[in-house]
């Protein structure tokens, strides 16, 4: 039995939440259309396509075209969703995201699938480790990185029902621990406190939230009280929760399945340095490309696992005092 199973966490790909939400929203939102890029089943857009084939369009392996088609549909009054791997959605179609979607404030939702190391054996070319940095600099764009399938479902619903404009949702391929449930609160722009604590804060997004919670359990056994923040919305980021964490715990460790440069940790640091400067440390990918391997192997290889998070938290505390 794995440590995740010991906690009663089901292992479910976060992409499932995206697909299920689209399928359910299709029934109540006849104006919803979905555009694929020849990866329909892989990003779970097939859930929608099978139920509403007249509202699904496959643009083929042409991500820039998919983004442009989505914009045209959105400017014609539709709610347009297009989804493909994050390396293509954020990287290959960046010009279309910037000039076509964001500049026009088009009501387009982008599903950035297979984010981070979750694509595993496909290797460096398909492991999206830069899209947080790329997407969060775009004006008019909302960026959400959910922790699990349940949160991905809620993020997709919120993006379509609550936000009139561009939204990018980053989610993964491989199964991850489902640490939230249907009743767990979710609000765009508001961080979720997974565990309270007073000695330091571990702020995380995506699959790193579960690893951070497990790290906090190790720290508890050592008499260290760690607050765990699930900062699922990176733009707009929850400045209030971050400032409060800095003031009340005095140190912040950030964890992300992404390059440390200009990513999630940088977004948190931008708030900290302007409100309540405290010692910080950033865990992420350190200025290199990925490797081929299973997602779990890669998590440990790149030191994103809960044991290293706990170790780095202890080292950070040495700087606090």
Three-state secondary structure readout of 141-162? CEEECCCCHHHHHHHHHHHHHC
Tens-place pLDDT, residues 167-188: 999 999 999 999 999 999 999 9
Write down the pLDDT at residue 6.
Answer: 92
Tens-place pLDDT, residues 105-123: 999 999 999 999 999 999 9
- pLDDT above 80: residue 152: yes
- Given CATH 3.20.20.70, say whether it is the number of domain 192-320: no
Q: Could you state, in order of their start, the residue ranges of all structural domains in the chain?
A: 3-177, 192-320
Paired tokens of 301: 């290889």
Averaged confidence pLDDT in the chain: 97
Paired tokens of 110: 């982008």
Write down the pLDDT at residue 321.
Answer: 75
Mean pLDDT over 95-102 rounds to: 98
Catalytic choice (63, 130, 131, 151): 63
Tens-place pLDDT, residues 14-50: 999 999 999 999 999 999 999 999 999 999 999 999 9
- Cα torsion angle, 42, 48, 54, 55, sign: negative
H or E segment and range at residue 254:
strand 252-259
Write down the pLDDT at residue 208.
Answer: 98
In the structure, what pLDDT confidence band is assigned to residue 1 with cuts at 50, 70 and 90? Answer: confident
- Cα torsion angle, 98, 103, 105, 108, sign: negative
| Cα 306 to Cα 212: distance, rounded to the nearest angstrom | 6
Q: Please indicate whether residue 6 is annotated as part of the active site.
A: no
- pLDDT above 90: residue 281: yes
Write down the pLDDT at residue 320.
Answer: 86
Q: How many percent of the chain have pLDDT more than 70?
A: 100
Q: CATH says 3-177 is which class?
A: alpha beta
- Cα torsion angle, 243, 249, 254, 260, sign: positive
Domains 3-177 and 192-320 share a fold: yes
Q: Is 306 left (phi over 0), alpha (psi -120 to 50) or beta?
A: alpha
Mean pLDDT over 211-232 rounds to: 98
User: Do the Cβ atoms of 231 and 186 come closer than 8 Å?
Assistant: no
Output the pTM of the full model: 0.97
């Amino acid at each position: 039995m794995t440590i995740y199973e010991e906690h009663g966490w089901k292992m479910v790909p976060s992409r499932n939440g995206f697909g299920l939400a689209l399928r359910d929203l299709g029934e109540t939102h006849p104006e919803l259309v979905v555009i694929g890029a020849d990866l329909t089943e892989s990003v779970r857009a097939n859930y929608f396509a099978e139920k509403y084939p007249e509202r699904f369009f496959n643009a083929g392996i042409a991500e820039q075209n998919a983004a442009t088609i989505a914009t045209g549909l959105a400017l014609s009054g539709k709610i347009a969703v297009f989804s493909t791997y994050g390396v293509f959605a954020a990287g290959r179609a960046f010009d279309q995201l910037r000039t076509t979607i964001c500049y026009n404030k088009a009501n387009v939702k982008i599903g950035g699938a297979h984010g981070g190391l979750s694509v595993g054996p496909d290797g460096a070319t398909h492991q999206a480790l830069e899209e947080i940095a790329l997407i969060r600099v775009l004006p008019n764009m909302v960026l959400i990185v959910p922790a699990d399938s349940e949160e991905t479902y809620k993020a997709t619903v919120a993006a379509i029902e609550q936000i009139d404009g561009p939204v990018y949702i980053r989610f993964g391929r491989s199964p991850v621990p489902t640490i939230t449930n249907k009743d767990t609160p979710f609000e765009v722009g508001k961080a979720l406190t997974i565990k309270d604590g007073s000695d330091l804060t571990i702020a995380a997004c995506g699959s790193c939230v579960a690893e951070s919670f497990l790290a906090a359990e190790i720290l508890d056994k050592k008499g260290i009280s760690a607050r765990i923040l699930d900062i699922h919305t990176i733009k707009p980021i929850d400045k209030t929760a971050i400032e409060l964490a800095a003031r009340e715990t005095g140190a912040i460790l950030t964890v992300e399945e992404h390059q440390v440069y200009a990513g999630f940790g940088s977004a948190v640091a931008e708030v900290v340095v302007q409100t309540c400067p405290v010692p910080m440390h950033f865990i992420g990918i350190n200025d290199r490309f990925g490797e081929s391997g299973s997602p779990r192997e890669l998590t440990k290889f790149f030191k994103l696992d809960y044991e290293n998070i706990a170790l780095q938290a202890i080292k950070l505390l040495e700087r606090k005092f």
